[in-house]
A and B are shown apart, each in its own frame.
Chain A
Amino acid sequence: MHQHTRQMTDVTAFAPVLRHIQTREDDPLTDDSAKDRAARLNAAVTACAAGDQSGVDAILGLEGPQLLGLAHRILSRRDLAEEALQDAMVQVWRKAAQFDAGSGSARGWIYAILRNRCLNILRDRKRLSILDPGDLATLQEGRQRIVPEEGWELLAGPGRIRACLRGLDQPSRHAILLAHVAGFTHAEIAARQDMPLGTIKSLIRRGLHALKECLT
């Protein structure tokens, strides 16, 4: 009986701490929480570079579901998404020593590695040829729907990039989103927008230039 009471006391004593951690995790918009996350991701990448596997656990603990969600949005299939994330984490591990915190955030670096891995899967005909035609159709249809012409604002989240994207002309904005969000190539975007390849290339360059000006 005495022991039971002590256990209860222990849990109560920790509750405010647990609640505090949870609040910080759940609210990525506060500066403190964003800085904390950035510091923890930096530390995790440094741990990977030093050969400490707990760095991988830390990255997956902080970003795992979001990373898997991103891979699934691009690849439409859960098995491919899991494969992409697994490969990407091995790449993060292998390249960790080359990560330069002065060049950008660890978060941006990790997401870029995953996106590249997803794009390589999408563009690897040998890899896709083992899917049956039905699965391939699901994948292609999924990609068609990622970037709607109406309601694209959802893709941009609540931040400044949304206002900046709204300031672009529609064809530039759509082409940039098709490339970055859905992983389409210049040629695929040209076909979808029914425009010449050269026009698409310059639309994207011009749009990106304006976007960067607005974001800086």
Chain B
Amino acid sequence: MTRLSDEIMALSDDYVLGLLSPAEATLMEAVIAREPELSRRVGRLRDQLLPLDLSADPMPLPEGFAAKVRGQLPAQQGTAVPSVDATPSNASGAPGRRALGLIAAAVAGLALGVGLTGMRPLPAPTVVAVLVDADGVPQAVIDDYGNDTATVRFVADVAVPADRTLQVWTLPSQDLGPISLGTLDRTAPAQLRFADLPDPGAQQLYEVTLEPLGGSPTGRPTGPIIGKGFAAPQA
């Protein structure tokens, strides 16, 4: 087993105990949803610790509680994308950068259809950027390989209207200005290929915007920002 997957396993234990920040927990859920071995490990530990939850004193539900809940249920769409708790999640201080980077790397690896155990043989991404919205909730993870390819994986439910396109951008330097890495019609995992850019560096900005159909007409971001984040180098 690789060191990385050991670390992810340990982080999944922290997740069950409730020790990850909300941003880390959201990413971890995206990994768990795609990795059966990790999912079983998490399920087993949950069940083992369940007696601790059952020791709380029961409290009667208020009158009409179930009806109130039923009134709030959205229509069931059978979506395969893990839904994301929309609670602002940047509140517990700076997320552990290292943990976030590791989980993000796992998410990015899974975007290529490669499980955790198979991650090491992959070319290591040069940088990983977790793009968050204005509330700090992770929306997408960009994995830039530094050879003019990158992957993007969305970890939140991002609604893309029929007449809009998602566009991925980076800012290699102030001189170059924002450069498009590609456009997407939907939030499925995607590989991006682009022309001659300098190798990505630490703290390089990445963002995803919602643009008119086909992409920004000006070659610069014009639409609302879905998420943005800075690159964290992968050792």
Interface residues of A (CB under 8 A from B): 48-51, 53, 56-57, 60-61, 64-66, 68-70, 72-73, 78, 81-82, 85-86, 89-91, 93-98, 100, 102-105, 107-109, 111-112, 115-117, 119-121, 123-127, 154-157, 159, 161-162, 176-177, 179-181, 183, 185-187, 204-205, 208, 211-212, 215
Is residue B58 contacting chain A, with contact meaning CB distance below 8 A? yes
Is residue B70 contacting chain A, with contact meaning CB distance below 8 A? yes
How far is it, in angstroms, between the C-alpha of A53 and the C-alpha of B44 when the chains are bound?
28
Q: Tell me the residues in window 65-100 of chain B with beta carbons closer than 8 Å to chain A beta carbons.
A: 65-66, 68-70, 72-76, 78-80, 82-83, 85, 87-89, 91-93
Establish whether residues B40 and A104, one from each chain, have CB atoms under 8 Å apart when the complex forms: yes
How far is it, in angstroms, between the C-alpha of A186 and the C-alpha of B52 when the chains are bound?
19
Can you name the residue of chain A whose Cβ is closest to the Cβ of B78?
A97
How far is it, in angstroms, between the C-alpha of A114 and the C-alpha of B104 when the chains are bound?
24
Known: A97-B78, A127-B87. A64 touches B61 (CB 8 A): yes
How far is it, in angstroms, between the C-alpha of A117 and the C-alpha of B18 when the chains are bound?
10
Interface residues of B (CB under 8 A from A): 10, 13-14, 16-19, 21-22, 25, 33, 36, 39-40, 42-62, 65-66, 68-70, 72-76, 78-80, 82-83, 85, 87-89, 91-93
Show 30 residue pairs from A and B whose CB-CB distance is below 8 angstroms, ordered by the A residue: A50-B76, A60-B65, A60-B69, A65-B60, A68-B58, A68-B59, A69-B58, A85-B65, A91-B85, A95-B83, A100-B43, A102-B36, A104-B40, A107-B47, A108-B43, A112-B16, A116-B25, A123-B89, A123-B91, A124-B22, A127-B88, A156-B55, A157-B54, A159-B51, A161-B51, A161-B52, A179-B19, A180-B17, A204-B19, A208-B13
| Chain B residues in 8 Å Cβ range of A111 | 46, 50, 53
| Chain A residues in 8 Å Cβ range of B56 | 66, 69-70, 72-73
| Chain B residues in 8 Å Cβ range of A185 | 19, 92
| Chain A residues in 8 Å Cβ range of B92 | 123, 185
How far is it, in angstroms, between the C-alpha of A109 and the C-alpha of B73 when the chains are bound?
19
Chain A nearest CB, measured from B100 CB (Å): 14
How far is it, in angstroms, between the C-alpha of A82 and the C-alpha of B91 when the chains are bound?
22
| Chain A residues in 8 Å Cβ range of B39 | 100, 103
Establish whether residues B59 and A115, one from each chain, have CB atoms under 8 Å apart when the complex forms: no
What 9 pairs between A and B have smallest CB-CB spacing?
A104-B43, A51-B76, A103-B43, A65-B58, A108-B46, A73-B56, A123-B92, A69-B56, A103-B39
